[in-house]
Amino acid sequence: MPIPIGPSLRLILDAAGGVAEVTEATVAAIWQRWLGPQRFNRKLARLDRAALVERPARSHDTERVIRLTEAGRLTAWGGRNPVTCWRRPWNGSWRLVLFDVQESKRSDRIKLQRQLRRLWFGYLQDSVWISPDPADALRRALGGLAVDAATLTLMEARPCSGETDADLVAGAWDFGRINRHYDDYLEILRSLSAASGVRARRSWLQVEWKAWCRAVQSDPLLPEALLPRFYRGCEAWERRQERMQRLLDLD
């Protein structure tokens, strides 16, 4: 999950994320345009303490620069790197979790379902969940759960009775809902030019951030080979990157 941050901190992260590194003076100027005469240095120090940015000293000039750390980049992206996820390899095998936890152990079942959702497994049918990724992360996540091994099975499999991988994707994840989240987000991006005044811009930053997190956190970010034909996530990501770059050029 992304680190909760307000719109003012988002502005710094987005400005620094638009390029490899950006000077403090440039970010301060963007801050002034968007949010007015507020305490920029205090907000920047907060990101510094959280290890989301770094400000390396450079000997060849006196102008300080801001770079995002890896944690800062993930935070600016909503907690996950979509491009890395889309480009990850897939060997053609599905990982299945099959379980039948008794009603007397309902709390264990709920914990297991939460872990599966947190790892973006898809709910295929009854107590069958699927993922294209190796099950190592799931095994580690299940380490503290008191689930009887006889009621829980992890398997690797491929469809063998006429079903396609696209059929499994459509059955396990609600891409209609996921696409609606991205469409809502794209509509918010299109409203950027309508934002005027400090209050409106702060509100827009907050709405944009929440909408992006809602979309990316609902999305399993499947490997490219498994993405549905009408998937909207890639376009939303590209438009978001373009908007971040334009942030550096706003008048």
- DSSP helix/strand/coil, 109: helix
pLDDT over threshold 70, residue 78: yes
Average pLDDT over residues 18-30: 80
Which two structure tokens, joined as six digits, stand for 73? 């980049």
Q: Which residues pair with 64 in a beta bridge?
A: none
Please report the pLDDT score of residue 235 as a whole number.
97
| Residue range 35-76, pLDDT digits in tens | 877 788 888 888 888 888 888 766 565 678 888 888 888 888
CB 95 within 8 A of CB 135: yes
pLDDT at position 251 is: 45
Closest CA to 220 of 140, 93, 123: 123
* Per-residue tokens: 133: 């990724």
Beta-carbon-side half-sphere exposure of residue 121 (alpha carbons within 13 Å): 26
CATH number for the domain formed by residue range(s) 1-87+174-251: 1.10.10
| Structure-derived torsion over alpha carbons of residues 215, 236, 178, 12, reported in degrees to the nearest 10 | 0
Tell me the mean pLDDT in the region 175-186: 97
User: How high does pLDDT run on average in the chain?
Assistant: 83
Residue type, 3: I
| Fold: same for 1-87+174-251 and 93-157 | no
* Percentage of residues in the chain having pLDDT higher than 90: 30
Look at residue 104 in the predicted model and tell me its pLDDT: 62
At which residue do the structure tokens 């993405």 appear?
227
The more confidently predicted of residues 40 and 6 is 40
**pLDDT higher than 70, residue 193:** no
CB count within 10 Å of CB 102 equals: 10
pLDDT at 84 over 60: yes
Q: Are 30 and 250 in contact (CB under 8 A)?
A: yes
Q: Are 177 and 220 in contact (CB under 8 A)?
A: no
Q: Is residue 218 within 8 Å of 180, Cβ to Cβ?
A: no
User: Using 50, 70 and 90 to split pLDDT, how confident is the model at 188?
Assistant: very high
Whole-angstrom distance, CA of residue 103 vs CA of residue 106:
5
Average pLDDT over residues 147-151: 60
Give all strands (DSSP E) within 64-188, no chain letters: 65-68, 94-99, 122-125, 128-131, 152-157
**Residue pLDDT, tens place only, 99-108:** 776 666 677 7
**In angstroms, rounded to a whole number, what is the distance separating the alpha carbons of residues 206 and 34?**
13
Q: What is the pTM of this model?
A: 0.85
Backbone angles phi, psi at 145, to 5 degrees: -90, 135
pLDDT in tens, 85-118: 999 999 999 998 887 766 666 777 777 788 888 8
Say how far apart CA 42 and CA 97 lie, in whole Å: 47
Q: Which fold has domain 93-157?
A: Alpha-Beta Plaits (3.30.70)
Rounded CA-CA distance 108/207 in Å is 36
Q: Average pLDDT in the 169-190 region?
A: 95
Nearest Cα to Cα of residue 64 among 51, 54, 50: 54
Q: Where are the domains of the chain?
A: 1-87+174-251, 93-157
